Amino acid sequence: MLSDSGRALWQRAKEIGEAVRASVADGGNSRKDLDDFIGYITSAYFRVRSAQPPMERRDQKSKRLGWQLAELVTSMENLEGAVRLRNVLTADTSCSLPHTNTLPLFSRSIRSALSSVARTQHDTQSQMESVAVVTVPFPAQGHLNQLLHLSLQLASRGLPVHYAAPAEQVRQARARVQGWGDDAVRRVEFHELAISEYASPPPDPAAASPFPSHLMPLWEAFTASAPAPVAALLREVSASGSARRVVVLYDFLNAFVGEEAARLPNGEGYGLYCAAVSNLVWWTEAGKGLVRERGLDYLPATSYVPEEFLEYAERRARVGQTLAPSAGVLANSCRALEGEFIDFLAPQLAARGKKLFVVGPLNPLLDATAPEQSTEQRHECLGWLDAQPPASVLYVSFGSTCTLRGEQIQELAAALRGSNQRFIWVLRDADRADVLADHGESRHARLLAEFTEPTDGRGLVITGWAPQLEILAHGATAAFMSHCGWNSTVESMSHGKAILAWPMHSDQPWDAVLVCKHLKAGFLVRPCEKHADVIPAAAIQEVIERMMASEDGLSVRRRATAIGEAVRAAATAGGSSRKDFDSFIAHITR
């Protein structure tokens, strides 16, 4: 006979046993945690493939399931890890976790879940591999860069991707891409398009317009010669037995590519708009009203390009017809930057049967706190930045298509020197068409020698190509004096850096308005309509000091930091851009 106290303990033990059993039954907390864990490790299928190095330390325990599981979970960014885990569990049903006895429910559940994942993987991977993607950028750095980033993003999801451009521009794009490892770049198949010979004159700093008219021979040769090799490449990919669908992504300035895609029996074309969505909004009548309602002064790109390029664009881009053959439009932007403009444009395109996929930022989002690369891999300017205080450096660069006159360079140099602020200045002329050719000593070499000594180590001048993404991601960088090309604007905002806007041509004036007036994340150095004037050093110095050493500037920099966090959130799991990117992949692999 049990005593009363013994009976009470027995009853209590029984209740605990029932509670424990309930926790592992359907709906129980342990069962829920197990399901969550299974969901976590199997969700690797939906993540970007990026193989991770195995754990360095191994011991006797590594033979046990728990340690194998721990190792595999740390490398679950790739789907192959999930399949390896499934194989481990299938091969040894008696393995146990450290400090536990056998867990048959655990093993059965994970084996079942991962078997399902493996089946899904096989089916979906077959779908992925039967869709070939061909990307054709316009041959200018900002356009090459955006479509290469998009190509790399798609290739990282397992899609076969072909990137086609003239030979010089293929080398240019590969040499300058930032934020991707060599293995990632090797996933993309590059094709060199044969085009006719073209002149490659240097930029003219004294030209009436800052527009890079010296690149016109390249662009004319491209649009005259590229259609034939592009059509041949598309037919080749289309006819390959493995491609049930050919998805062609083309720059809006390459309308002919969309037309060629429409001729394929299994082709679909999608235009990538390489400028701000709000810029595209303006070209609709209702959009003009929206821009005016926001108190923004739209500065059409046509006001800041020479007649020669306008005629070229009208002949070759056929902007009004670019959408006609396309199945949809992609944009390198996000809601944190242009939410209301995106909301306006999406139904406008939907009414024309076009889906809008807003998938930006396309550039990699670098982590300033990530472990450093070896010194052999890092640019020297990054070591210099490491030695500077947080948020203390002004980064100055005017992109790949802008050239300052000699007088203006002297005034900017005096302003940087007089401001007593730390800076990195990328002092180089606009690209030539044959960008990687040796063009001799920079015209800035003498100024560089004269300028750097008086700054007493506060500044660093770079006359070659600079790692802009890494500079913007660095914690020592506070702000960016920029020409406001869309690439640079998105890169700066995505890394939370305020902008000192110095627009020069094309869509740059609008980008400056968007940043300074709409987002309130920058100050205007000079309006574009005054491009013919030389801005005196005192005026430049004043705006530098306002950004770097005033409460007003601190407020703007904090605003840019908040925008950067929102932009990064848009590109991560659950964010608006990630959802659009996933939706685009689901759509083209349907």
| Residues annotated catalytic, as ranges | 143, 251
DSSP H or E segment with residue 510: helix 508-513
Give whole-number Cα distances, 210 to 213, 334, 529, in Å. Answer: 8, 29, 11
Residue type, 15: E
Bridge partners, 329 (sequence order) = 271, 356
CA distance 23 to 33: 10
Give the phi and the psi of residue 183 in degrees, each rounded to 5.
Answer: -60, -40
Residue in the structure block whose two tokens are 């960088």:
477
3-class SS letters over 449-476: HHHHHHHCCCEEEECCCCCHHHHHHCCC
CA 500/CA 478 separation, integer angstroms = 11
Residue 543's H or E segment, with its range, is helix 537-549
- 248 touches 257 (CB < 8 A): yes
Alpha carbon of residue 483 to chain centroid: 19
Determine what percent of the chain falls in helix, strand and coil, rounding each to the nearest 5.
Answer: 55, 10, 35
Task: Tell how far CA 167 is from the center of its chain.
Answer: 23
Q: Nearest to residue 54, comparing CAs of 67, 43, 42? A: 67
CB 163 within 8 A of CB 191: yes
- Rounded-to-integer distance, Cα 310 and Cα 360, Å: 28
Residues 359, 333: contact at Cβ < 8 Å? no
349 and 256 Cβ atoms separated by less than 8 Å: no
Instruction: At 38, list the tokens.
Output: 């299974």
Q: What angle do CA 9, 14, 19 make, to 5 degrees?
A: 125
What CA–CA distances, in Å, run from 108 to 16, 101, 105, 141? Answer: 25, 15, 5, 53
**Contact call for residues 328 and 261 (beta carbons, < 8 A):** no
